[in-house]
Amino acid sequence: MRIAIFSWESVYSIYVGGVAAHVTELACALERKGHEVHVFTRLARHDQPWYERIHGVHYHRCPFNTNPDFVEEIKNMCRAFVDAFYQTENYAGYFDIIHAHDWLTAYALIWIKEGRPRKAIFTMHSTEYGRCGNNFFGGNSERIRHIEWLGAYCADKVVAVSKSLKNELMWIYSLPDNKVSVAYNGINYHNYDGWVEPAAVRRMYDIGAMDPMVLFAGRMVYQKGPDILVDAIPHILKFYGNAKFVFVGDGEMRWSAEDRAKHLGVSHATRFLGYHNGWRLTDLYKASDCVCVPSRNEPFGIVILEAWSAGKPVVATSNGGPSEIVWHDVNGLKVYPTADSVAWGIGTLFSDFEHARWMGNNGRIAVETVFSWDTITDEVLSIYSN
Partner 1 sequence: MAVKSAKTTKSKKAPARKGQSRSLPGQKSVFETIHPVPASFPPEKFSAFEKVIPPISSSEEPVKRNIPHPPQKVSLESCELPSGYNSTYITLIARDPYWLYAYWEIAPSAFSDLRDKIGDEINRCAWVLRVYDVTCIDFNGTNANSWFDIETGPSATNWYINFWKDGASVCAEFGLRAPSGRFFSFARSNFVHTPRASSSWRKEEIWLDVKNDSPNDPPFVIFERDEEKNARKNSAKNNPGARNSQNPRRRKIFLTEADIRAYYSKLFPLLKNILLRRKGIAARGANPRFNLKDGISLDDILLRGTSRGQFIKKILLGASEEMLVFGGGSEQLSSGASTQEQKKRTFFFEIGTELIVYGRTEPDAEVWLADKKIKLRQDGTFTLRFALPDGKIPLDFSAISNDKVEKRRIATSVERVKTIYEP
Residues in contact with partner 1 by CB under 8 A are 182, 184, 210-212, 238-242, 324-325, 327, 329-331, 343-348, 350-355, 362, 365-366, 369-370, 375, 378-379, 382
Q: Which is nearer to partner 1, 58 or 166 (CB)?
A: 166
Rg of the chain on CA atoms, in Å = 21
Q: Which is nearer to partner 1, 154 or 367 (CB)?
A: 367
The strand order across the sheet containing 213-217 reads 270-274, 244-248, 213-217, 290-293, 314-317, 332-335
CB of 359 to partner 1, least distance (A): 9
Q: C-alpha dihedral over 19, 22, 27, 30, to 10 degrees?
A: -150
Q: Which whole-number Å values give the CA distances from 70 to 133, 210, 304, in the listed order?
A: 20, 47, 30
Q: Which is nearer to partner 1, 3 or 315 (CB)?
A: 315
CB of 182 to partner 1, least distance (A): 8
Polymer length in residues for the chain: 386
Q: Which is nearer to partner 1, 201 or 325 (CB)?
A: 325
CB of 88 to partner 1, least distance (A): 30
Q: Which is nearer to partner 1, 8 or 373 (CB)?
A: 373
CB of 203 to partner 1, least distance (A): 17
Kindly give, in sequence order, each residue whose CB lies less than 8 Å from that of residue 132, ignoring residues fewer than 6 positions away.
Answer: 141, 222, 223
CB of 238 to partner 1, least distance (A): 6
CB of 126 to partner 1, least distance (A): 19
Q: Which whole-number Å values give the CA distances from 304 to 42, 186, 218, 300, in the listed order?
A: 28, 11, 11, 9
Say how far apart CA 146 and CA 186 lie, in whole Å: 28
CB of 232 to partner 1, least distance (A): 11
CA atoms in the 13 A half-sphere facing the CB of 355: 12
Name residue 291's amino acid: V
Strands 290-293, 36-42: pairing is unpaired
Q: Which is nearer to partner 1, 181 or 295 (CB)?
A: 181
Say how far apart CA 62 and CA 115 lie, in whole Å: 19
CB of 218 to partner 1, least distance (A): 22
Asked if residues 201 and 287 have their Cβ atoms less than 8 Å apart, the reply is yes
Q: Which is nearer to partner 1, 41 or 362 (CB)?
A: 362
CA angle 311, 315, 321 (to 5 degrees): 95
Q: Which is nearer to partner 1, 262 or 355 (CB)?
A: 355
CB of 141 to partner 1, least distance (A): 31
CA angle 15, 229, 285 (to 5 degrees): 50
Name residue 134's amino acid: N
Q: Which is nearer to partner 1, 89 or 298 (CB)?
A: 298
Work out the angle between the directed axes of helices 70-92 and 140-154 (0-180°, nearest 10): 30
Strands 57-62, 51-54: pairing is antiparallel
CB of 378 to partner 1, least distance (A): 5
Q: Which is nearer to partner 1, 154 or 359 (CB)?
A: 359
